[in-house]
Amino acid sequence: MAAHFRKLALIGIGLIGSSIALAARRQGLVDVISIATRRQETLDEGHELGLGDIYTLDPAEAVRGADLVILCAPVGTYDALARAIKPALEPGAILSDVGSVKEHVVKVVGPHVPSGVSFIPGHPIAGTEHSGPSAGFAELFAGRWCVLTPVPGVPEEHTEKLADFWRAMGSSVECMDAAHHDMVLAITSHIPHLIAYNIVGTVADLEDATQSEVIKFSASGFRDFTRIAASDPVMWRDIFLTNRDAVLEMLGRFSEDLSVLQRAVRTGDGASLEAMFTRTRAIRRSIINAGQETPRADFGRPVVAPPPPETNVVREHGGGDDA
């Protein structure tokens, strides 16, 4: 099998690392999986879930003899991790990652990659708001994109082998430049998270009475922001610290567009509002057509029907509603 590896080392075993372990195992893509974490509790949890074969708190030990190493920790840890694993990386190995930003990863990991090791950063565009080893599931990457940003000079066959690995886990793969990735993800992922954190933060600052009303009536829209705003705080802190330029560039455009909307609301410019909302509806349709979202109403949430009306109800007091 083109995508087969002898030993896969996963540094970090949260949502993404555990999903890779489960998917790679299910598809028979690896013989041995070694896992390294920072904390003993996380390592024990991964062990109890049977996610790997070798468990260690030493990242260098985990990567020794591995022909595929994937960093699956928050990107803020990458610099120290790259320094730690450098002496143990085997010539001929592929070193990759799943970090949500890519230029920063190239900058901090790149200088520590020994010659003979192929450095191919990656980013599966798949996830949930849950974290930790028990959050993973083998189907996480099915039908989702995985972006690879190989650095210059990496053998083509290594990029193709890693792409095959992701395809075997159900992903479609696209290669692009790291800076381009960061700009695209700034608007498709990072700014939406910033907006969600902001709107939910605004509610958190409201006085108690108003806040309880917002929570009570949250199904009117607010609730959908809270899912995104429940994402892991450390991971998202690192994303905003490491993709600053692209986020600020896109935030500038967003603010300008928001001012246009604000003006339309203030001046009662219904035609502009309607034109804008018609364009945005078309974007939603194209995401559904691209298979990246369900066409079902309300994201396919189950409808909780009210209980059927009771029959033969004995009304002790004759009922007063009929008059």
Binding residues (CB under 6 A) for ligand NAP: these are 11-17, 36-39, 42, 59, 72-75, 77, 81, 98-100, 123-124, 127, 131-132, 135, 232, 235
Which backbone phi and psi does 94 adopt, to 5 degrees? Answer: -105, 130
Judged by beta carbon, residue 16 or residue 89, the one nearer ligand NAP is: 16
Judged by DSSP in three states, 95 sits in: strand
What single letter denotes the amino acid at residue 289? N
Compare residues 13 and 109 and give the one whose CB is closer to ligand NAP: 13
Helix, strand and coil in the chain, % to nearest 5 = 55, 10, 35
Give least dist CB 160 to ligand NAP, A. Answer: 22
In the bound state with ligand NAP, the residue whose beta carbon lies nearer, of 39 and 216, is 39
* Shortest spacing between CB 241 and ligand NAP, in angstroms: 12
Backbone CA torsion sign across 49, 50, 55, 59 = negative
Distance, in Å, from the CA atom of 124 to the CA atom of 236, rounded to the nearest integer, reads: 16
Q: Give the nearest distance from C-beta 199 to ligand NAP in angstroms.
A: 19
C-alpha angle with apex 105: 57 to 35, nearest 5 degrees? 20
* Residue among 53 and 269 whose Cβ is closer to ligand NAP: 53
Strands (E), the chain: 5-11, 30-36, 54-56, 68-71, 94-97, 118-119, 122-124, 145-148, 172-175
Q: Is 27 exposed, middle or buried (0-12, 13-18, 19+ CB in 10 A)?
A: middle
CB of residue 105 to ligand NAP, shortest distance in Å = 9
Q: CB 237 → ligand NAP: shortest distance, Å?
A: 11
Q: How many angstroms separate the CA atoms of 146 and 170, rounded? A: 10
Choice between 60 and 264, CB closer to ligand NAP: 60
CB of 70 to ligand NAP, least distance (A): 10
Q: Which lies closer to ligand NAP via its Cβ, residue 74 or residue 150?
A: 74
